[in-house]
Amino acid sequence: MSINYKELADKYQTPFYAYDFDHITQQYTELKEAFRARKSLLAYAVKANSNLSVVKHLAEQGAGADCVSIGEVKRALKVGIAPYKIIFSGVGKIDDEIRQALELDILMINVESEAELDRVEVIAKELGKEARISVRVNPNIDPKTHPYISTGLHENKFGVDIDTAKRMYIKCKNSENLDAIGIHCHIGSQLTELEPIKESINIVADLVRNLKAIKMEISFFDVGGGLGIVYDDETLIDTKEYGQVIMEALFGLDITVVCEPGRFLVGNSGTFITKVLYEKINGDKRFVIVDGAMNDLIRPSLYNAYHKIEVLEKSENASDCNLVGPVCESGDFFAKNIELPATEHNDLVAIYSAGAYCFTMASNYNTRGKVAEIAIENGKDRLIRKREIFEDLIALEEEYIK
Ligand code: LLP
């Protein structure tokens, strides 16, 4: 579907994010279909885009939620995701978060260390509960993605090795307050190769068989998230093949598949629209300065990530430039050394594949309000988050001025 960004810019001002909700539906349906042969739960990784309307839209398709803070758990509950579809992951859960997760009776807490398992046991005991948990296994597989978003190697902080995982399951078996219902692994994000996923899932499936041999039945096999999307010209993992690889690994096991996609569901649905303020030349270098900045969309600055960029309705006189924002950092850029047409004040620039890890990683640096978010569904647009104004930014400080 083609979206008229110019009309949206006139109506909502810039910068803003626009999300194509119909595309999100398509992505959800495609992945769910890949798991058709089994009971499955797609637990949307809320961190990718936690706007309540986005999460609600996925909830309406049947999605659960993979959360990494109690705040995310509350977002999921707020839009009607049932507790039994919510998973709480993360290497550093705070006691109070564990307590709340147990009280809220979510599906399972995904535990990432022995020390954390001890804490969960203590807290569950205090509450007189049996905590449903899964253990995150780190299979020591190189996912072949950017090092910052790679998580499945022992050098990364995530999960535990197989031997530790075994000890943790035995501990659960002997504990009145721990019920190990799941197993989990997630090796990284923006994955474009199936082989590392296959290897790690097979390692984890073997562990499930070993546990079965000692009469520990695991009901949920969580394959993590990580499916890549198109930013540039990537060849993506075929979701049917992905499903097949998982089904094969789980052959003979009576187990529900859980998958935690974030980027795959929302990444390509989003576009960031920003407006040209000025052009300038410093020495030989041409700069195009826009009203959006690294505080709105940090992926290029943080990971040197590539996002496809276009000046809307212009193609003439393209030349090399850096596309930068108003923030006072040399690292404030959307792209370096790209060819863009000659621009004028108020021309619109589209930055694509901006539905995941863009708004959610935004900050208020330089006292810049977070931008508006807009949903497009069935050809209609609607605001799903207001642009922040100055009063929002000072609201929690104002009363303390002496
Ligand atoms: N499950 C777990 C345990 C995760 O750590 C993550 C992402 C996901 C699921 C979802 O992964 P996805 O399907 O979205 O690839 N800020 C980075 C990405 C960080 C990913 C963190 N974990 C970026 O902008 O690329």
Question: What would the pLDDT profile of 255-303 be if each residue is shown by its tens digit?
Answer: 999 999 999 999 999 999 999 999 999 999 999 999 999 999 999 999 9
Residue nearest to atom 9 of ligand 1 (CA): 225
Task: Specify the CATH number for the domain of residue 228.
Answer: 3.20.20.10
How many other CB atoms sit within 10 Å of the CB of residue 207? 20
- Whether residue 1 has pLDDT greater than 70: no
Which position has the higher pLDDT, 155 or 397?
397
Residue nearest to atom 24 of ligand 1 (CA): 357
Ligand 1-lining residues (CB < 6 angstroms): 45, 48, 66, 89, 149, 151, 186, 189-190, 224-227, 260-264, 299, 356-357
Residue 24 in domain: no
pLDDT of residue 143: 79
Using one digit for the tens of pLDDT, what is the confidence trace for 70-99?
A: 999 999 999 999 999 999 999 999 999 999
Q: Are residues 126 and 191 in the same domain?
A: yes
How many other CB atoms sit within 10 Å of the CB of residue 180? 26
Residue 375 bridge partners (DSSP): 19, 382
Question: Could you tell me the distance, in angstroms and rounded to a whole number, from the CA of residue 157 to the centre of ligand 1?
Answer: 14
Q: How does 50-88 read in b/e, with b if 16+ C-beta sit within 10 Å?
A: bbebbbbbbbeeebbbbbbbbebbebbbebebeeebbbb
* Ligand 1 atom at minimum distance from 90 CA: 3
Helix (H) or strand (E) holding 207: helix 194-213
Q: Are residues 311 and 213 in the same domain?
A: no
| Domain final residue, candidates 242, 261, 280 | 261
Helices (H), 254-369: 263-266, 299-303
| Domain final residue, candidates 222, 238, 261 | 261
Using one digit for the tens of pLDDT, what is the confidence trace for 128-186?
A: 999 999 999 999 888 777 776 667 677 778 899 999 999 999 999 999 999 999 999 99
Residue 27 in domain: no
Residue nearest to atom 22 of ligand 1 (CA): 189
Question: Could you tell me the distance, in angstroms and rounded to a whole number, from the CA of residue 260 to the centre of ligand 1?
Answer: 9
pLDDT of residue 142: 81
pLDDT of residue 202: 96
Which residues form the domain of 337? 5-16+268-398
Question: Could you tell me the distance, in angstroms and rounded to a whole number, from the CA of residue 188 to the centre of ligand 1?
Answer: 7
358 is catalytic: no
Residue 352 in domain: yes
Task: Specify the CATH number for the domain of residue 326.
Answer: 2.40.37.10
Q: Which is the catalytic residue, given 67, 172, 259, 328? A: 328
Q: Are residues 209 and 326 in the same domain?
A: no
Q: Are residues 82 and 217 in the same domain?
A: yes
Number of folded domains that form the chain:
2
Residue nearest to atom 6 of ligand 1 (CA): 225
Using one digit for the tens of pLDDT, what is the confidence trace for 327-364?
A: 999 999 999 999 999 999 999 999 999 999 999 999 99
pLDDT of residue 99: 98
DSSP at 355: S
Cα atoms in the Cβ-side hemisphere of radius 13 Å centred on 105: 5
Residue 275 in domain: yes
Q: Are residues 156 and 178 in the same domain?
A: yes
In the chain, what percentage of residues exceed pLDDT 70?
Answer: 99
Q: Cis peptide leading into 15, omega within 30 of 0?
A: yes
Question: Could you tell me the distance, in angstroms and rounded to a whole number, from the CA of residue 399 to the centre of ligand 1?
Answer: 37
